[in-house]
Amino acid sequence: MKPITEYKDYHSLIKDFYEDRKRTSYFSWREFAKLAGFSSPTYLRLVSEGKSNLSRVTMPRMISAMELAGFEAEYFKALVNFCNAKDDSAKMPFWKQMRQIALEYKVRVVDKEAVEYFDGWKNSVIRELAPRMKGATPGEIAKKCCNEISAADVSASLDFLTKAGFLKKDADGSYRQTEKNVTASKEGMVYAVHAMQHKMLQLADESIERFAPDVRNVSGLTFTVNRECYKRISQEVDAFRKKIIAIAADAENADQIYRLNLQLFPMTWKLNEEA
């Protein structure tokens, strides 16, 4: 399913959301309607087909059912109001709001020419930290990192991030992000991303001893599943990750950089090899 900010019609967004959920799990229009608090199992199907519309009353229910948060929820509200508006003059304010949100929270997709971005933890952290420490020297930025990094390393990272277009340096010497979020494309990035993930897992392991429980959250579960159950859990993990991104992007006066690792992996081989 494409990012929410690429949709210009909430009917197709709802249809894509349903089809995406149904593709990886048992999901029906009846279940979707139940999640949104609608008594009719066919109402949302009609909405997805453009035969019915959401209202200001039903809109919050859909936000909850689709687990939208932060800028995604705000974009959805603007999208519904835009599509439901009667004429161009009424649509314009919501169109401007949609464009502003899309520009502010668009995701940078990193291709094979920017593999260096995923070389360890430094670039991703400096990209978040530098814009929030206006006028700071590389040495001052280095001191704010929990993990060891030199001023020279910070300078090198800033130089790379600027040249590669992840950061923009303004006339006053301060930095700002060119995009709100960064993700990797599937082609050409596997090994670079794997290397970064290995390093982040190492840092997560070290965090158990380095940080008090009130500033870190480390937990785990062990459970038995089949293939269909695995697919449903994977989909929930993906939805959770997107929701976390939206919540973080909506934070005001952010003052600390965090890393969240999500892992789901087998602990045994299949008990039934023919399955």
Cα 255 from Cα 10, distance rounded (Å): 34
SS3 state at 9: coil
pLDDT digits (tens, 9 = 90+) for 72-100: 999 999 999 999 998 888 898 998 888 88
Give yes or no: residues 113 and 205 share one domain: yes
Average pLDDT of the chain, as a whole number: 87
Cα 113 from Cα 92, distance rounded (Å): 38
Give yes or no: residues 93 and 114 share one domain: no
Give yes or no: residues 34 and 126 share one domain: no
Residue 232 lies in a domain: no
Residue 248 lies in a domain: no
3-state helix, strand, coil in the chain (%, to 5): 55, 5, 40
pLDDT digits (tens, 9 = 90+) for 176-235: 998 877 776 654 456 567 778 888 899 999 999 999 999 999 999 998 999 889 999 998
Give yes or no: residues 87 and 34 share one domain: yes
Residue 35 lies in a domain: yes
Asked if the model's pLDDT at residue 141 lies above 90, the reply is: yes
Segment 124-141 mean pLDDT: 93
CATH number at residue 200: 1.10.10
Boundary of a domain, candidates 68, 83, 105: 105
Which residue range is the domain that position 71 belongs to? 4-105
Residue 233 lies in a domain: no
Give yes or no: residues 113 and 207 share one domain: yes
For the chain, give the percent of residues with pLDDT over 90.
50
Q: Which of 36-45, 64-73, 108-117, 174-183 bottoms out in mean pLDDT, i.e. has the lowest?
A: 108-117
Residue 147 lies in a domain: yes
> Which pLDDT value is given to residue 274?
58
Cα 247 from Cα 220, distance rounded (Å): 22
> Which pLDDT value is given to residue 273?
66
For 181-222, the three-class secondary structure string (H helix, E strand, C coil) is EEEECCCCCHHHHHHHHHHHHHHHHHHHHHCCHHHCCCCCCC
Give yes or no: residues 153 and 211 share one domain: yes
Boundary of a domain, candidates 74, 89, 105: 105
Residue 230 lies in a domain: no
> Which pLDDT value is given to residue 190?
61
CATH number at residue 98: 1.10.260
Residue type, 15: K
Identify the CA nearest to 233 among candidates 263, 204, 261: 263
Boundary of a domain, candidates 63, 88, 105: 105
Give yes or no: residues 27 and 62 share one domain: yes
> Which pLDDT value is given to residue 110?
65
Could you give the number of structural domains in the chain? 2
Give yes or no: residues 48 and 115 share one domain: no
SS3 state at 143: helix
Q: How many CA atoms lie within 13 A of 68 on its CB side?
A: 21
Residue 80 lies in a domain: yes
Give yes or no: residues 93 and 116 share one domain: no
This prediction's pTM = 0.57
Give yes or no: residues 23 and 72 share one domain: yes
Q: Which residues pair with 175 in a beta bridge?
A: 169
> Which pLDDT value is given to residue 185?
60
Number of H helices, E strands in the chain: 11, 4
Higher pLDDT residue, 148 or 195?
148
pLDDT digits (tens, 9 = 90+) for 12-30: 999 999 998 888 778 899 9
234-237, Cβ contacts within 8 angstroms, sequence gap of 24 or more:
234/24, 234/264, 235/21, 235/24, 235/25, 237/262, 237/264
Beta carbons within 10 angstroms of residue 206's beta carbon = 12
> Which pLDDT value is given to residue 96?
87
Residue 257 lies in a domain: no
Give yes or no: residues 155 and 203 share one domain: yes
Give yes or no: residues 133 and 193 share one domain: yes
